[in-house]
Structure 1
């Protein structure tokens, strides 16, 4: 868990082929358990900081 909001926040490191499956599971279960809609954001790792 990360963040300090009422609904919490997670960072999940997933294999690319599992992303859609996990998002579907979160969107199905989170509202049932917490009464709130989930927001899912997919990010991709990139090279570190560099000169622009």
Structure 2
């Protein structure tokens, strides 16, 4: 593998790792929001008890 090919692969690898980290963080946030909404949703036992 030439030096230039290796350099390109390194840059792409770093960009991919950054994108994966960003997506993982987004998924974690989404899962947290979904859990919070689920916990806050009225249940059968609490519906109509305002």
Is the structural similarity TM-score above 0.5?
Answer: no
Q: Please, what TM-score do these two structures have when normalized by structure 1?
A: 0.32
Greater relative contact order, per chain length (Cα 8 Å cut-off, separation 6+): 1
TM-score where L is the length of structure 2? 0.33
The higher radius of gyration belongs to: 2
Structure with more of its chain in helix, by fraction: 2
